[in-house]
Amino acid sequence: MRTAIILGAKSDMAKALAVNLAKRKVDLVLAARNAAEMKPMKMELETAYHISVSLVEFDALNYSSHVSFMQQIPENSDAVFCVFGFLGNQELAEQNNKEMLKIIETNYVGAVSILELFASKFQQQRKGIIVGISSVAGDRGRQSNYFYGSSKAALTTYLSGLRNRLRVYNVQVLTVKPGYVKTAMTAHLQLPKFITATAEEVAEQIMHAIDSNRNEIYVLPIWRYIMLVIKLIPERIFKRMKL
Ligand SMILES: NC(=O)c1ccc[n+]([C@@H]2O[C@H](COP(=O)([O-])OP(=O)(O)OC[C@H]3O[C@@H](n4cnc5c(N)ncnc54)[C@H](OP(=O)(O)O)[C@@H]3O)[C@@H](O)[C@H]2O)c1
């Protein structure tokens, strides 16, 4: 890996990923809204790890800007980490079409719009790594977060198709299902400690999964079993549960 792009670079997971990549001497493009605010992060990474870090403006919902975004990244870019996401407010989204569309579009349409451009680039250069942060919420729809969950389910399916398409072009596509993670997104939630990862654990597991050429990971392995049990509950029972 020579140059990695981190989309949604201000997120806690992205920051942990940036440090892990910098330790491997990978040059970085930190892409986010109001990217200039990441100047201190750029300087810290450049000074500590002697790598090149550039900041590029990126808004997942500004679809028409995505082609020009690609023109601003280095030619030798060979990895992309799609980290941005929007949990939103389920109750508000049930009343308010704007919130609902923002959840769906950020997590799915925005991700597909930009990742397709990376897919074409990596296919052409016959080399690349695409990492998408999806969610266990996409494994089964629940009343408490089905807009977010369904958008992540769509993202998981998209990444699966992309993996199938790009395998012959030497492009790894990794789907990451973090489970609960202590970040700004979940700061307002009381999360059970034993099934909650840190952003640093997520980043380490992603790097390990890249090295072992994995397709899909649950960051804490226990989540694979939790979701297996949840998926096995018959729908006639599941629909009565308060989840
Ligand atoms: N935390 C969890 O428990 C958990 C669990 C499963 C999956 N995930 C997923 O993990 C990823 C990282 O989340 P996190 O927990 O680290 O949350 P976070 O700190 O809240 O980060 C989310 C990031 O997404 C960015 N973003 C939102 N809308 C955007 C847009 N239109 N264009 C560009 N960037 C946008 C935000 O940018 P701004 O700084 O500009 O607002 C923010 O930096 C997300 O995909 C999330 O869905 C999180």
153 lies in some domain: yes
User: What integer best gives the mean pLDDT of the chain?
Assistant: 97
Residue-wise pLDDT for 44-76, tens only, equals 999 999 999 999 999 999 999 999 999 999 999
Number of domains in the chain: 1
Residue-wise pLDDT for 135-170, tens only, equals 999 999 999 999 999 999 999 999 999 999 999 999
200's CB contacts (< 8 A; 6+ apart) are 16
Is 139 a pocket residue for ligand 1 (Cβ < 6 Å)?
Answer: no
74's CB contacts (< 8 A; 6+ apart) are 3, 27, 29, 54
Domain that holds residue 80: 3-238
- Tell how far CA 26 is from the center of its chain: 19
Is 86 a pocket residue for ligand 1 (Cβ < 6 Å)?
Answer: yes
pLDDT of residue 198 exceeding 90, the answer is: yes
The model carries a pTM of 0.97
Is 205 a pocket residue for ligand 1 (Cβ < 6 Å)?
Answer: no
CATH assignment of the domain containing 232: 3.40.50.720
C-alpha span between 6 and 3 (Å, rounded): 10
197 lies in some domain: yes
β-pairing, 77-82 vs 3-7, is: parallel
> Best mutation site among 84, 139, 182, 216 for ligand 1, i.e. most ligand atoms within 8 A of its Cβ?
84
C-alpha span between 106 and 93 (Å, rounded): 14
Ligand 1 atom nearest to CA at 33 = 40
243 lies in some domain: no
